[in-house]
Amino acid sequence: MGKILTIIPSRYAASRLPGKPLIDIAGKPMIVRAYEQAVAVDLGPVVVATDDDRIAGVVRAAGGEAVMTRPDHVSGSDRIYEALTKIDPDGQFEFVLNLQGDVPLVEPQAVRDCFAPMKDPAVDIGTIATLMKEEQKTNPSFVKAIGTPLSEKRLRALYFTRATAPSGEGPLYLHIGLYAYRRAALERFINLPASPLEKREKLEQLRALEDGMRIDVTLVDSVPIDVNTPEDVADLKKILAGRE
């Protein structure tokens, strides 16, 4: 296996929770907790890619590494690719892990599981999913992963959708937005135009599938809390209080 670089894209603006990366979570900014959790995964160097000096400042003050990127990126994938070209212009890192800054309690094993499919040279992108709860099946905020089973814990992705999941036999899976890329696959992906299905579903991973790229999904048991509302922040603080 080649060298792995973990990049956490982080921007200050957020429609539902402005300034989200800097929100205090039990004494630390959320982006710092996300950075520390990424370091604990122990897959290689970790960098925060941001367009905001305040975010870069708190990461560096905590001993982390941050790189400044353009403010006009439309997605985290675009931001991490710019960061990659700045950090590693000579191509020493073969793999890039896109770890979200609003999942500060993601389990290290779930992150490793995201990377696990990359051991297969035929796979371009790895990601994770878990069993879907009944109340999630009709909610467009929860993305459904549809795929062909390759083993008990792995699927080859065929589609991702926000639509109501159909009834019938068999499990349904909730997609969790962590991504492991081959460097060449990330470069190919960000240079593609937005695809018709991507525009319809507002899911950029469909761009990769429409272009013939292979995405494999590892099935995991743990589901990280992603922070999007003040209620999510309160829940996260309660979890951390219970651990201390």
* CA dihedral sign, ordered 24, 74, 130, 156: negative
C-alpha span between 116 and 138 (Å, rounded): 30
C-alpha span between 175 and 197 (Å, rounded): 17
Helical ranges in the chain per DSSP H: 30-41, 53-61, 76-87, 108-115, 183-190, 196-201, 205-210, 230-243
pLDDT at 106: 86
Per-residue pLDDT tens digits of the chain, which is 244 residues long: 679 999 999 988 766 677 889 988 888 999 999 999 999 999 999 999 999 999 999 999 999 999 999 998 988 899 999 999 999 999 999 999 999 888 888 889 999 999 999 999 999 999 999 999 888 888 888 899 999 999 999 999 999 999 987 667 778 899 998 999 999 999 999 999 999 999 999 999 999 999 999 999 999 997 777 777 777 778 877 877 766 5
**Cβ burial 129-157 (10 Å sphere, 16+ → b, else e):** bbebeeeebeeeeebbbbbeeeeeebbbb
